[in-house]
A = this chain, B = another copy of it.
């Protein structure tokens, strides 16, 4: 009934694949990783405001999915949204400034980690109420259909979110009306302390698409290329007017649930095993094996990603503080 979860460590099969795509994905995943690793360090050592949820280990999902989209396609994200933003080309400087609660932040200091957003990039919002972004993305798909824009809308959410009523209501409408929507379950196997088997009567989450007459696909979420391919197929379906797809990307959150949460509910061996299935390393190994890049080239990209984050931090530090009354301008939208 539940698909046994096999931890895959093999290199991504890059033979004959588009080098530019692979290198771009590699770079994006590194930026997302480095963004969160540096943040973790900043939270430990400085007075960073608020909290954050790291997606370390899950980067292949965000990057693989978004790589299959056009820039004007839209996405919604969650409390664990940094990687989605990085993938969607939200400027790193603005993301970091937002984490620092600065005026130049992507949300002007009003949103913070859980609400990183950038409309200009088709990033419609990070919704930190579990499941709440699913109908909103579906509405973006409906709007694309009404406007005949050819856009698709993607909703990212976790394995825990499939148990919210919004999942059910939105997927039914999307399938009923063949909307150009794609639903990505980022199955990192835990919703805070709860395993999928402890919270879902049907732990094969892709199979829950059965109730909506919708295709459900499970994919290796630590293989950026596999995620990319699955998404590409869903995008084609959506743009052809054939309706939505549910994709379950199997992955693992290496860190605790939030900031300093210790995740003591997970066996150490399990965490270690998944550390050895790192999506960035798997892509690197695959590119080298396929002769697409050399170790040197990859190291250079690693260095660039590190510098990009360093620069983002340096930028954020120089940005201006949010003034106490800034928010007054943002309560309602008026001409």
Q: Among residues 229 to 252 in chain A, which have CB atoms less than 8 Å away from a CB atom of chain B?
A: none
| Interchain nearest-CB distance for A163 vs B (Å) | 6
Interface size range on A against B: 20 to 34
Copies of this chain held together in the complex: 2
Contacts of A200 in B (CB 8 A): 172, 176
Give the residue name and chain of the B residue nearest to A178 (CB).
Answer: B201
Q: Provided the pairs A163-B169, A165-B164, A168-B167 are in contact, do residues A201 and B212 lie with their beta carbons within 8 angstroms?
A: yes
Q: Which of B166, B173, B201 contacts A176 (CB 8 A)?
A: B201
Q: Among residues 158 to 194 in chain A, which have CB atoms less than 8 Å away from a CB atom of chain B?
A: 163-169, 171-176
A297 at the interface (CB under 8 A from B): no
Cα distance, A172 to B198, chains bound together (Å): 11
| Interchain nearest-CB distance for A275 vs B (Å) | 30
Give the residue name and chain of the B residue nearest to A167 (CB).
Answer: B168
Q: Provided the pairs A176-B199, A201-B176 are in contact, do residues A1 and B213 lie with their beta carbons within 8 angstroms?
A: yes
A202 at the interface (CB under 8 A from B): yes
| Interchain nearest-CB distance for A237 vs B (Å) | 15
Q: Which of B168, B174, B198 contacts A168 (CB 8 A)?
A: B168
Contacts of A174 in B (CB 8 A): 201
* A169 touching B164, Cβ below 8 Å: yes
* B165 touching A172, Cβ below 8 Å: no
Known A-B contacts: A167-B168, A173-B201. Give 8 more (CB < 8 A): A163-B168, A174-B201, A175-B202, A176-B201, A201-B212, A201-B213, A202-B213, A210-B211
Residue pairs across A and B with Cβ atoms less than 8 A apart, 11 shown, are A163-B172, A165-B168, A168-B168, A172-B201, A174-B201, A175-B202, A176-B198, A201-B212, A201-B213, A202-B211, A210-B210
